[in-house]
Amino acid sequence: MGYYVLGDQGQKYGPADIPTLNQWIAEGRIVPHTMLQDEASGGMIAASTIPGLLFLPTASPVSSNYPRYNQAPQYQAPAYTSSSGSSDNGPITLAFAMALVSPILSFFLPIGGLLTAMWGIRSAIRAKDNGHPLGVIAIVACGVAIAFWGFIRIAGIGRGMFLR
């Protein structure tokens, strides 16, 4: 029974039997996620699921002259950098700090909790505009702090309730 090896650009190699495929594995031309097509049925299957294929963790190419079939792209997520190119986490840190401090201030200062949450939203928007992935979450957190401030004001339980 043979298999066709499907390359990156849609090329088809083969059909090749199990010993030939194992040789190509040893040469580094086939990796576990390389797609193969069964010669008899035409079905697609990953190389790692075919019995008899030997994938060794230390297999390395014998020669760089061989083409590599269906290599997975190497992707690394980009690190957050601000528009100035540095990884400045100041605005996002400030936004989350203000979202935490605002509810506490809402009990003691009539307007302190509101101003703190608004400052946090301003910092969160700056972080979001610079591309920080947590910018929207910080905006929502500060919005919740403003809603809490409103609840405290409407319920009348703030403004020095612990100072009586």
Q: What SS3 class is residue 134? A: coil
The H or E element that residue 81 is part of is: none
The number of angstroms, rounded, from the C-alpha of 20 to the middle of its chain's C-alpha atoms is: 38
pLDDT in tens, 67-93: 555 555 555 545 555 455 555 678 888
The H or E element that residue 36 is part of is: strand 35-38
Q: What is the pLDDT of residue 70?
A: 53
pTM for the model stands at 0.45
* Cα distance between residue 53 and residue 66, in whole Å: 19
The yes-or-no verdict on residue 39 having pLDDT over 80 is no
Q: What is the pLDDT of residue 76?
A: 53
pLDDT in tens, 110-162: 688 888 989 999 999 988 888 888 889 999 999 999 898 888 888 877 655 54
163 confidence band (pLDDT: 50, 70, 90): very low
Q: What is the pLDDT of residue 3?
A: 81
Which is nearest to 101 in space by CA: 117, 121, 90? 117
